[in-house]
Chain A
Amino acid sequence: MALINTGYLEYDELKNIQTLPDDERFSKGPVAIIECVQEIPCNPCEAACHFGAIQVGEPITNLPTLIGEKCIGCGMCVARCPGLAIVVVDKTCSDTTATVSFPFEYYPIPTVGEERKALNRKGEIVCSGKIVKVVNPASYDHTPVVTVEIPKEFADEVRTVERV
């Protein structure tokens, strides 16, 4: 795995390890992308999903699998994953843009309407993004989930925004 030599996943590598939503699923609305690729003992994502869309089972070192049809893209798993390894991607928000919702535990938390540079898994600037939603209820336990709107072609690349 290139990951353990670099610290980041290539999208192709991720596709080989995780079951990602197909184009048809993406066309139906927001959906979770689980970027958890090592068998570590951890399963809170399974309990976090109220729709039964994430399965870990026994043993708890199993990789989580996403059942695309059950996922509604609510983002609860994004806040609850201790590894901050889940994002929700919505490729249906407009003809030219997509949104990526990701956990963001740095101060200051982005605010709606703000422009921030959108970064890929290596921390490189991919494009400029507009913050369209910030959710941080008590149930998220201090893991705000931030949604950034970006050009559609970068939906599989953008995973966070810059810290300021």
Chain B
Amino acid sequence: MLQKDVLVIGAGPAGLAASIEAGKYGASTLLVDLNMQPGGQLFKQIHKFFGSSAHRSGTRGYDIGKQLLQEAQEANVEIWMQSTVIGIFPEHKVAIEKGLDSGKKEMITIQAKKIIIATGASENAIRFNGWTTPGVMGAGAAQTMINVNHVKPGQQIVMLGTGNVGLIVSYQLMQAGCDVVSLIEAAPKIGGYAVHAAKIRRAGVPIRLRHTIIEAKKGENGCVCGCVIAEVNEHFQPIPGTEETIACDTIALAAGLKPTMDLVKLAGCKLTFNGPFGGYIPLHNDRMETSCLGIFVAGDTTGVEEANTALEEGKIAGISVAEDLGLISPDTASNQRKEIWERLHSLRLGPFGERRMQEKEAVMKEYETCIGAPIPIQ
């Protein structure tokens, strides 16, 4: 069986940052991911990031991705793509299926002293009549098509949801040459940042608040040819008689994300339910260690936030495993973590961030009271 100091699962911002820290201090580090290319969702983020100018803000997401891949190489991180973790067993034995769906797959078992799970999040679906019709897709899927694969998912887009994902992807669809017909939002106010909404409105695109999509219209080709929207009441129920049909060939759903928990559950980590963070998440301490000894988490898996918070959490996890492997002193690790927590704190301020800061603190407090110290996987 292949032996590694550290196995990191998920090559997005959190997993890359964690691998870089662990690798940099000399841990033999393997990073695995099921996709074709590393970077997670960073390479489809073509906008300039918010945050502190001291830490890569103002830089476009894909450039941050390129920098991370460079740093991972310098830190001797081994990266396996098209590799799916399908089992986590006691003593940190992990089964990995490697290879393309279309080719021959290989089953590899490895044992790692430490495991970092950074599997990110997946998009929520909204179910309305016809929601499975081809042409209805996640906003992130549309974003991947235009910005990574350079193919438009369709020409006329209706976006459901006005959180930052809905607003940013709408803008980027227009940059790619699509027509965004309308944004539809059930809430009485726009969910995302005003500056993102302002870009949409300047472009002349209407934002329909207190409305939802109740049906995707299927054309003769079996694909979306329009949608029916309706006004909703204060209980988010459609009001009969307010229906309108909008012609479109694509309906993009931006209804939030939920942490991808499969492996966290498989490992047996203790969970908690947290609405603002998107659903069930693993309890973890301020070192990003879960209830399972030697199993760490970082990024959206621990609660849906943003790439910049995922990067910082990844660093904390990487530093903590380096510490536990005896590669850096507890003092050094503790000081570095302190600096990162201060940066995370500043990213979680203001009307959009405070709630996440409170929830993060609550998760770590629950860890201290319910678990105290991590225990080996049973």
Contact = CB atoms under 8 A, between A and B. Distances in A.
Interface of A: 1, 3-9, 35-44, 46-48, 58-61, 80, 82-85, 105-107, 119, 121-124, 141-143, 159-160, 162-163
A84 B197 CA distance: 11
Contacts of A48: 58
Interface string B201-212: 111110101000
Nearest to B171: A105
B150 to A, nearest CB: 13
Contact of B190 (A4, A42, A59): A4
Nearest to A61: B350
11 contacts: A4-B194, A6-B207, A7-B200, A36-B195, A40-B193, A41-B347, A60-B346, A85-B195, A85-B198, A122-B204, A143-B48
A38 B193 contact: yes
A107 B177 contact: yes
A121 B346 contact: no
B53 A46 contact: yes
Given A40-B350, A84-B199, A7 B50 contact: no
Interface string B64-83: 00000000000000000000
B349 A38 contact: no
Contacts of B175: 105-107
Interface in B20-55: 47-53
A48 B50 CA distance: 13
B353 interface: yes
B52 A41 contact: yes
B198 A8 contact: yes
A142 B62 CA distance: 13
B52 A43 contact: yes
A39 B47 CA distance: 19
A41 B349 contact: yes
Contacts of B352: 38-40
A61 B353 contact: yes
Instruction: Provide the main secondary structure of the chain A interface.
Output: loop
A38 B57 contact: no
B196 interface: yes
A46 to B, nearest CB: 7
4 smallest A-B Cβ distances: which pairs?
Answer: A123-B204, A83-B195, A44-B58, A61-B350
Given A39-B349, A83-B50, A119-B202, A7 B197 contact: yes
B351 interface: yes
A84 B195 contact: yes
A141 B194 contact: no
A56 B221 CA distance: 54
A9 B194 CA distance: 9
Contacts of A39: 349-352
Contacts of B353: 40-41, 61
Given A41-B52, A58-B346, A160-B202, 9 more contacts: A8-B198, A38-B351, A43-B53, A46-B53, A48-B58, A83-B198, A84-B195, A85-B195, A143-B48
B174 interface: yes
A69 to B, nearest CB: 23
B326 interface: no
A61 B349 contact: yes
Contacts of B49: 82
Given A38-B194, A106-B175, A61 B203 contact: no
B355 interface: no
A7 B58 contact: no
Contacts of A85: 195, 198
Nearest to A143: B48
Contacts of A80: 48, 58
B60 interface: yes
B350 A123 contact: no
B350 A119 contact: no
A41 B202 contact: no
B189 interface: yes
